[in-house]
């Protein structure tokens, strides 16, 4: 199962952090709760740097996306994962642990999910989409990270991936406005 | 209610039409002094705001039968209504040299003036900066800057381009948030949404004045000419250069300090060349075409990057920080007009919502009401 770390974010007099079981954003006043600096593996620290300096990211290569996948099983998986994630953050995360990678990279997986006509209102489905891509991308385990972020001072939240120096979703133009409060890898 | 004549600011960008016949009125100050402000239709203003800039010709009068006319709008004498004519491009075979010629011609019209550019850190104004540098024309840079996370790229680009100006000054956005100092907005004849940004623009204007800048170029209009689809049929062009400028702010925040604001992208030759260069291309919200076309002039960070920050955080914090003033303005508007639209009950309904929710329609309603109350406050003799 994917590991998860919560990151603390400050805005004015409050600290915001991610509750890893429920997936809720919590807020506190007072001092920072981070007692020691989080020790991060290389792929996570590299992705965090790219997140902070997004102009260093490479563009996703959409020309190499294949359309020749056996789609039936993955359509069903996409629908079930979406349902599970909308029910519960923990359930969605757990559901991804039973899948073996299939797509060459997250760009291919996200393109597949976005083309899945059974799933409506895609703009609200950033979390199941990233979980889908992370669980099925052959590159994610080696060099991918899911970010969950908040746009402060609103409570609006968003999820996205950085994998191999690329933010793989060409239709996601809003991720840059969200400050990471959790990382999954 | 009296206006303060000695503090009244000229509004050259606006005149009025009196409905239903469309008689031209150069201003409505006299009518306001006679009490026209009492015949206010706040719901109409709210609806006009909802229509948006592109449909502003459909706006209905908010004060009696006085319809404000912005620069570029025309009066249709037959239909007795306003129209917003689209730009009419001429089809031409053009290349980079034609574009550079158009740009050089535009810059030459400001010869001898101290040029300033709004250094926002975004693509559109950075292109202008890069072109001035290309032509070895001296310029200064001035902009609002923020350490907020979502503006990290804009801030980086600002730092990267700052040395390109003869003098550069960046103003901390946190000191001049939207909706700040609403009580200081000068007397104006008609409610205006841009009044919420008066304090920010005034800070820019003051800095321009201190730096001796005569004319300030902004990147306004870049979103239109670089992102909107370009039909192969020039008659289908939907560009409205007259909305590229924030005329109200130019009149009220910049002109009083001697600063002329000029829109680079509204120049007809520049627009025409970009139109022909992008002919037949579809919607391009990431401005990939512009990033590639100007790649030899721009920092590589802008060539490869396709995202931009939104301003929600600034507006939400602006409202939170200034809510006591906003409530005071609503109370005052209710005292003055007796209109239930400004009643304490309506104010509570509006401001007791979850203001941290970045909901466009909710904020449109809030901002419409604030603009109306700010306008009424500006008319009071103090």
How many structural domains does chain A have?
Answer: 1
Interchain contact, B307 vs A179, CB within 8 Å: no
Residue A13's pLDDT is: 87
- Chain A residue with CA closest to B357: the answer is A154
Smallest Cα distance from B309 to chain A, Å = 6
User: Which is higher by pLDDT, B103 or B39?
Assistant: B103
* Phi, psi for residue B151 in degrees, rounded to 5: -100, 15
Q: Report residue B319's pLDDT band, with 50, 70 and 90 as the boundaries.
A: very high
SS3 category, B147: coil
**pLDDT at residue B381 tops 60:** yes
Q: Report residue B309's pLDDT band, with 50, 70 and 90 as the boundaries.
A: confident
Closest CB from A55, A151, A155 relative to B153:
A55
Residue A75's pLDDT is: 87
Which of A57, A153, A162 best tests the B interface by mutation, with the highest count of B CBs <10 A? Answer: A153
Compute the distance between CA of residue B375 and CA of residue B65 in angstroms, rounded to an integer.
18
Domain that holds residue A144: 4-30+38-184
Interchain contact, B307 vs A152, CB within 8 Å: no
Compute the distance between CA of residue B252 and CA of residue B185 in angstroms, rounded to an integer.
9
Residue B149's pLDDT is: 96
Task: Describe chain B by its helix, strand, coil percentages, rounded to 5.
Answer: 50, 10, 35
Residue B11's pLDDT is: 81
Residue B7's pLDDT is: 59
The pairing of strands A14-18 and A25-29 is: antiparallel
Q: Report residue A123's pLDDT band, with 50, 70 and 90 as the boundaries.
A: confident
Residue B360's pLDDT is: 87
Compute the distance between CA of residue B194 and CA of residue B179 in angstroms, rounded to an integer.
10
Smallest Cα distance from A4 to chain B, Å = 22
Report field, pTM of the whole predicted structure over 0.80: yes
Percent of chain A with pLDDT over 70: 94
**pLDDT at residue A136 tops 90:** yes
- Chain B residue with CA closest to A177: the answer is B150
| Widest distance between CA atoms in chain B | 62
* Mean pLDDT calculated for residue range A69-82: 84
Closest CB from B150, B156, B285 relative to A55:
B156
How far from chain centre, in Å, is Cα B120? Answer: 14
Residue B150 sits at the chain A interface (C-beta within 8 Å)? yes
Residue the block writes with tokens 């409530």: B327
**pLDDT tens digits, B117-156:** 999 999 999 999 999 999 999 999 999 999 999 999 999 9
Compute the distance between CA of residue A68 and CA of residue A103 in angstroms, rounded to an integer.
11
Identify the weakest region by mean pLDDT among A115-124, B102-111, B321-330, B345-354.
A115-124
* Mean pLDDT calculated for residue range A11-26: 91
Q: Which CATH number fits domain B96-304: 3.90.190.20, 3.40.50.300, 3.30.1540.10, 3.40.50.620?
A: 3.40.50.620
Q: Report residue B2's pLDDT band, with 50, 70 and 90 as the boundaries.
A: low
Q: Report residue B358's pLDDT band, with 50, 70 and 90 as the boundaries.
A: confident
* Mean pLDDT calculated for residue range B55-83: 95
The pairing of strands B215-218 and B115-118 is: parallel
Instruction: Name the A residues in 58-117 with CB < 8 Å from any B CB.
Output: 58-59
Closest CB from B306, B307, B316 relative to A153:
B316
Chain B residue numbers touching A173 (CB-CB < 8 A): 285-286, 306-307
**pLDDT at residue A42 tops 60:** yes
As given in the structure block, the two tokens for residue A91 are: 């359930």
Percent of chain B with pLDDT over 90: 90
Chain B residue numbers touching A181 (CB-CB < 8 A): none
Cross-strand bridge partners of residue B139: none
**pLDDT at residue A119 tops 90:** no
Chain A residue numbers touching B312 (CB-CB < 8 A): 151, 154, 177
Choose among B262, B155, B141, B154: nearest CA to B208. Answer: B141
Residue B258's pLDDT is: 96
Q: Report residue B348's pLDDT band, with 50, 70 and 90 as the boundaries.
A: very high
Identify the weakest region by mean pLDDT among A94-103, A138-147, B68-77.
A94-103
Chain A residue numbers touching B153 (CB-CB < 8 A): 54-55, 176
Q: Report residue B212's pLDDT band, with 50, 70 and 90 as the boundaries.
A: very high
**pLDDT at residue B8 tops 70:** no
Interchain contact, B304 vs A55, CB within 8 Å: yes
**pLDDT at residue B259 tops 70:** yes
Q: What average pLDDT is seen over chain B?
A: 94
Residues B196, B371 contacting (CB under 8 angstroms): yes
Smallest Cα distance from A61 to chain B, Å = 13
Compute the distance between CA of residue A135 and CA of residue A131 in angstroms, rounded to an integer.
6
**pLDDT at residue A98 tops 90:** no
Which of left, alpha, beta for B181 (phi over 0: left; psi -120 to 50: alpha)? left
Residue A124's pLDDT is: 85
- CATH 3.40.50.620: which residues of chain B? 96-304
Smallest Cα distance from A57 to chain B, Å = 8
Residue A73's pLDDT is: 79
Interchain contact, B356 vs A151, CB within 8 Å: no
Residue A34's pLDDT is: 61
Compute the distance between CA of residue B123 and CA of residue B264 in angstroms, rounded to an integer.
13
Residue A39's pLDDT is: 72
Task: Encode chain A in three state secondary structure.
Answer: CCCEEECCEEECCEEEEECCCCCCEEEEECCCCCCCCCCCCHHHHHHHHHHHCHHHCECCCHHHCCCCCCCHHHHHHHHHHHHHHHHCHHHHHHHHCCCCCCECCHHHHHHHHHHCCCCCCHHHCHHHHHHHHHHHECCHHHHEEEEEEEECCCCEEEEEEEECCECCCCCCCCHHHCEEEEEEC
Choose among B78, B72, B69, B73: nearest CA to B28. Answer: B69
As given in the structure block, the two tokens for residue A153 are: 């001072």
Residue A70's pLDDT is: 62
Compute the distance between CA of residue B185 and CA of residue B171 in angstroms, rounded to an integer.
20
Q: Report residue A74's pLDDT band, with 50, 70 and 90 as the boundaries.
A: confident
Residues B337, B148 contacting (CB under 8 angstroms): no
Interchain contact, A176 vs B307, CB within 8 Å: yes
User: Which is higher by pLDDT, B18 or A122?
Assistant: B18
Q: Report residue B372's pLDDT band, with 50, 70 and 90 as the boundaries.
A: very high
Smallest Cα distance from B295 to chain A, Å = 14
Residues B191, B159 contacting (CB under 8 angstroms): no
Compute the distance between CA of residue B355 and CA of residue B106 in angstroms, rounded to an integer.
44
Choose among B291, B358, B238, B321: nearest CA to B130. Answer: B291
Residue A155's pLDDT is: 84
* Mean pLDDT calculated for residue range B105-126: 97
First to last CA, chain B: 10
Residue B13's pLDDT is: 87
Contacts of B193 by beta carbon, 8 Å cutoff, 6+ apart: B49, B367, B368, B371
Check if the interface score ipTM surpasses 0.85: yes
């Amino acid at each position: 199962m994917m590991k998860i770390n919560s990151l603390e974010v400050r805005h004015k007099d409050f600290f915001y952090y991610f509750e890893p079981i429920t997936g809720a954003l919590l807020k506190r006043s007072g001092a920072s709760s981070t007692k020691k600096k989080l020790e991060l593996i290389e792929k996570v620290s590299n992705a965090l740097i790219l997140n902070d300096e997004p102009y260093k990211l490479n563009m996703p290569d959409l020309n190499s996306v294949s359309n020749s996948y056996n789609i039936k099983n993955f359509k069903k998986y996409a629908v079930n994962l979406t349902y599970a994630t909308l029910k519960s953050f923990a359930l969605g995360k757990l559901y991804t642990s039973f899948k073996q990678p299939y797509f060459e990279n997250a760009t291919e997986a996200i393109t597949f999910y976005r083309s899945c006509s059974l799933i409506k209102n895609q703009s609200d489905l950033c979390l199941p989409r990233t979980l889908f891509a992370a669980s099925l991308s052959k590159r994610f385990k080696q060099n991918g990270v899911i970010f969950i972020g908040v746009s402060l001072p609103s409570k609006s939240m968003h999820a996205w991936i950085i994998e191999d120096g690329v933010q793989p979703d060409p239709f996601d133009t809003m991720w840059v406005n969200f400050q990471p409060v959790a990382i999954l890898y | 209610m009296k206006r303060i004549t000695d503090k009244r600011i000229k509004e050259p960008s606006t005149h009025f039409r009196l409905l239903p016949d469309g008689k031209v009125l150069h201003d409505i100050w006299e009518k306001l002094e006679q009490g026209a402000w009492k015949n206010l239709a706040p719901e109409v203003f709210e609806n006009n705001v909802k229509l948006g800039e592109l449909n502003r010709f459909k706006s209905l009068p908010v004060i009696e039968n006085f319809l404000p006319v912005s620069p570029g709008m025309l009066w249709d004498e037959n239909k007795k209504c306003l129209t917003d004519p689209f730009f009419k491009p001429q089809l031409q075979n053009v290349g980079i040299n034609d574009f550079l010629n158009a740009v050089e011609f535009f810059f030459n019209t400001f010869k001898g003036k101290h040029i300033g550019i709004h250094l926002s850190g975004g693509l559109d104004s950075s292109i202008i900066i890069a072109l001035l540098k290309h032509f070895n024309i001296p310029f200064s840079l001035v902009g609002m800057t923020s350490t907020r996370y979502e503006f990290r790229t804009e801030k980086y680009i600002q730092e990267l381009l700052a040395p390109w100006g003869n003098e550069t000054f960046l103003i901390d956005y946190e000191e001049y948030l939207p909706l700040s100092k609403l009580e200081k907005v000068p007397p104006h004849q008609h409610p205006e949404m841009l009044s919420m940004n008066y304090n920010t623009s005034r800070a820019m204007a003051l800095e321009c004045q201190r730096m001796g800048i005569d004319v300030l170029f902004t990147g306004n209009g870049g979103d239109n000419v670089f992102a909107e689809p370009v039909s192969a049929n020039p008659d289908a062009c939907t560009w409205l250069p007259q909305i590229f400028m924030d005329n109200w702010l130019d009149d009220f925040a910049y002109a009083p300090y001697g600063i002329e604001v000029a829109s680079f992208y509204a120049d007809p030759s520049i627009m025409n060349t970009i139109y022909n260069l992008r002919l037949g291309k579809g919607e391009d919200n990431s401005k990939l075409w512009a990033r590639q076309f100007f790649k030899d002039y721009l920092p590589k960070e802008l060539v490869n990057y396709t995202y931009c920050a939104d301003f929600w955080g600034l507006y939400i914090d602006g409202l939170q920080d200034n809510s006591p003033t906003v409530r005071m303005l609503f109370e005052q508007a209710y005292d003055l007009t007796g209109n239930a639209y400004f009643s304490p009950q309506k104010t509570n309904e509006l401001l007791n919502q979850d203001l941290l929710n970045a909901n466009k329609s909710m904020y449109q309603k809030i901002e419409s009401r604030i603009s109306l109350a700010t306008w009424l406050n500006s008319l009071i003799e103090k």
